[in-house]
Amino acid sequence: MQHISQNPSNNTANKFWKPGSARPPRQQSSSIVDRQDSTSENVDLYQHSSMSIAQHRRHLPIAAYRAHILYLLEKYRTLIIIGETGSGKSTQIPQYLLESGWTRNGKLICMTEPRRIATIQLAQRIADEKDVLLGKEIGYRIRFEDVYSSGLTQILVMTEGLLLRELMYDPLLTRYNVVIIDEAHERAIQTDLLLGLLKKIQRRRRDLRLIITSATIDSERLRAFFEHQTSSISKNPNQSEKNDNEEKLNECHVMSVEGRSYPVEIYHTTESVPDYCKACVDTCIQIHENEKYNEQGDILCFISGQDDVVKIIRDLHDYAKRLNDEQQHLKRKDERKKLILLPLYANLKFIDQMKVFEKTPPNTRKIIVATNIAETSLTIPNIVYVIDCGYVRLKLFNPEFGFEVLTTLPITRSSALQRAGRAGRIRSGKAYRLYPASEYEKMKEFQLPEMQRCDLAFAVLQLKALGIHNIVRFDFPSPPPSKNLLQAIECLYALRAIDQQSHLTPDLGMKMAELPLHPTHARALIISLEYGCTQEILKIIASLQVKHVFISSPNEKMRAMKLHSKFACQEGDLITTLNVIKTFEQQMMPQQFCDK
């Protein structure tokens, strides 16, 4: 059994903890993620607060910076705001802009999010705080769903991909006064494309303001990226004062917002755990059985991928069933320790994702097992205990073979701090790291941006469609490896999306760029019209957007293989998947077919 030791920076480093034993004693001198007065009143400032919405807004940490943010936005064209998750930056900044008149000329405030669930949650929260119906003054856009009113909406929240699509028919984003890029630290390909394009747009639109918000990011590198254009512009000493002021608007400013966090005790294992899934389950059981139950503190587990999330939830279900059987003798139901087990990952149905935000019933504890989707994008209420496996699953591109693979890698120090910080939002919390403190010290500070480790074919195709012909000279925040860029261009040429001069082909290339698909899938869908197999190709491409069609538990592996073999064919996995979908469509009781 692996031991977990308190952070070695404490004087109590000889105190150990392991799953299944009594919890470590609370130490006043324990290490914390955000150093705040531990005597502060424990108030839930999120969706279950007894305060009014107006009081809630005034108590958020960002409220103290309202005037300063508005002042800086008048002086600088680009503003980078660093603030902890829960500080209120995502919900309040667009409202400050709305209240100070940034939409008076009929233009909008645009805010982008990396994920659909965060987009909808944020738009709903802003609408609630403004006491308006979602879709009127406050709206959102995600793929296949537009909830806003033309001529009425003033704040529009959307995914990054949709703003990129909008650039194709409005290259200068003329309907927006301010664009806010939220959660920029995730450094997805679409994030970096937007940053590079918005910097380019600001050269033509001097009135456009850009706000970049993040929980943790290399702010100095990003500031240098936006200030680079200023240093390259020569100033005429005879310019008027007005022109000098306009020139200063090219500059970028960085400001930090302090979060409202309570002390978080951090514990590390004394050595690496051989099975972090088992260690996570053991730790959840330990917390549930030994921590103060009447405090209603929920548990958030960070796991590397969807498969591990499903496995841990299944094991915890077995424990919850045993616990329920053991407590049947208790006459009073309020004496029973109930558990609600919730998974959270990107491919989960939206209605199931939203369950993590529901209020925890009395005498019940929620255990949320999540991927890094819960690291910064979402503020989940009532989390007091965090379990961090220390790994994340990322896509890595191999330019020699031309495909991406999902690889499990150690997280960064910034991610570790963000994960631990989830435990200190409503009161003092605890973070259990399933790796030694020595491993934490070896971690990188920040994760490599997607632009430098992923397939760039889709990104290059989008840039070509936006009129960026010389991709090599495009101003990327983090320039991609030349091998990856060359492979992307070769791929597009092979698909006939670009010609020998590397220009987008008008007949095929532009059609491919209009589809929100990888160029290979887009080409297959377009060419399927000639062969009369569009429906079949649509089903195959749709199946490729999810990770697994077949799901089975280790205990039923042989039975599952026997059932799956009915759909197998020599032509390959794609036709096998098509057979599954066609069989599903013929079922009178599709749910039973899927369960079987």
Contact predicate 296/28, CB 8 Å: no
| Maximum CA extent, the chain | 89
Q: How far apart are CA 118 and CA 318, in angstroms?
A: 31
Amino acid sitting at position 144: F
Q: Which residues are registered as beta bridge partners of 354?
A: none
Q: Which of 533, 531, 520, 538 is nearest to 577 (CA)?
A: 538
Question: In Å, how far are 79, 199, 394, 532 from 405, measured between CA atoms?
Answer: 35, 31, 8, 32
Regarding the domain with residue range 4-28+261-450, which homologous superfamily does it belong to in the CATH classification? Answer: P-loop containing nucleotide triphosphate hydrolases (3.40.50.300)
Residue 447 burial (CB count, 10 A): 20
pLDDT one digit per residue (tens) for the chain, 596 residues: 444 555 433 333 333 444 444 444 433 333 323 323 332 333 333 444 556 788 778 888 899 999 999 999 999 999 999 987 778 899 999 999 999 999 988 999 999 999 888 899 899 999 999 999 999 999 999 988 999 999 899 999 999 999 999 999 999 999 999 999 998 888 899 999 999 999 999 999 999 999 999 877 778 888 888 887 533 333 343 444 444 444 445 589 999 988 766 888 999 999 999 999 999 999 999 998 887 655 568 999 999 988 899 999 999 998 888 887 776 665 555 556 788 999 998 888 888 888 988 888 888 899 999 998 877 667 788 899 999 999 999 989 888 888 888 899 999 998 998 899 888 877 888 999 999 999 999 999 888 899 999 999 999 999 999 999 899 899 999 999 999 999 999 999 999 999 999 999 988 999 999 998 999 999 999 999 999 999 999 999 988 887 667 665 555 667 667 777 777 777 778 888 888 888 888 877 777 777 66
Start-to-end Cα distance in the chain: 36
Instruction: Report the residue count for the chain.
Output: 596
Q: Which residues are registered as beta bridge partners of 387?
A: 301, 432
Q: What are the phi and psi torsion angles at 454 (to 5°)?
A: -120, 170
CA atoms within 13 A on the CB side of 525: 19
CATH topology of domain 456-595: Four Helix Bundle (Hemerythrin (Met), subunit A) (1.20.120)
User: E strands within 120-168?
Assistant: 138-142, 145-147, 155-159
Spatial neighbors of 227 by CB under 8 A, at least 6 apart, are 250, 251, 252
DSSP-assigned states of every residue in 402-434 = TEEEEEEEE--HHHHHHHHHGGGSSS-EEEEES
Contact predicate 95/129, CB 8 Å: yes
Domain residue spans in the chain? 4-28+261-450, 53-257, 456-595
Spatial neighbors of 262 by CB under 8 A, at least 6 apart, are 34, 36, 38, 40, 42, 424, 425, 426, 427, 428, 429
Question: In Å, how far are 27, 380, 524 from 512, measured between CA atoms?
Answer: 59, 38, 10
Question: Same CATH topology for 4-28+261-450 and 53-257?
Answer: yes
**CATH class of this structure's domain 53-257:** alpha beta
Q: What are the phi and psi torsion angles at 514 (to 5°)?
A: -75, -15
Torsion on CA atoms 467, 473, 475, 481, rounded to nearest 10? 110
Q: Which residues are registered as beta bridge partners of 412?
A: none
Q: How far apart are CA 228 and CA 33, in angstroms?
A: 34
Question: In Å, how far are 44, 53, 267, 295, 421 from 49, measured between CA atoms?
Answer: 5, 9, 30, 15, 20
Q: Is 258 helix (H, G, I), strand (E, B) or coil?
A: coil
Q: How far apart are CA 94 and CA 41, in angstroms?
A: 28
- The alpha carbon dihedral of 554, 559, 562, 566 has a sign of negative
Contact predicate 336/342, CB 8 Å: no
Q: How far apart are CA 376 and CA 186, in angstroms?
A: 9
Spatial neighbors of 287 by CB under 8 A, at least 6 apart, are 23, 299, 385, 430, 432
Cα 523 off chain centre by: 29
DSSP-assigned states of every residue in 307-361 = HHHHHHHHHHHHHHHHHHHHTTT-SSGGGS-EEEEEEE-TTS-HHHHGGGGSPPP
Cα 304 off chain centre by: 14
Q: How far apart are CA 553 and CA 551, in angstroms?
A: 7
Q: Which of 449, 447, 446, 448 is nearest to 459 (CA)?
A: 449
Q: How far apart are CA 34 and CA 383, in angstroms?
A: 16
Q: How far apart are CA 86 and CA 358, in angstroms?
A: 17
Residue 345 burial (CB count, 10 A): 21
Q: How far apart are CA 294 and CA 60, in angstroms?
A: 27
Residue ranges of alpha helices (H) inside 76-130 are: 89-99, 116-130
Q: What are the phi and psi torsion angles at 577 (to 5°)?
A: -65, -40
Q: Which of 486, 480, 516, 481 is nearest to 498 (CA)?
A: 486
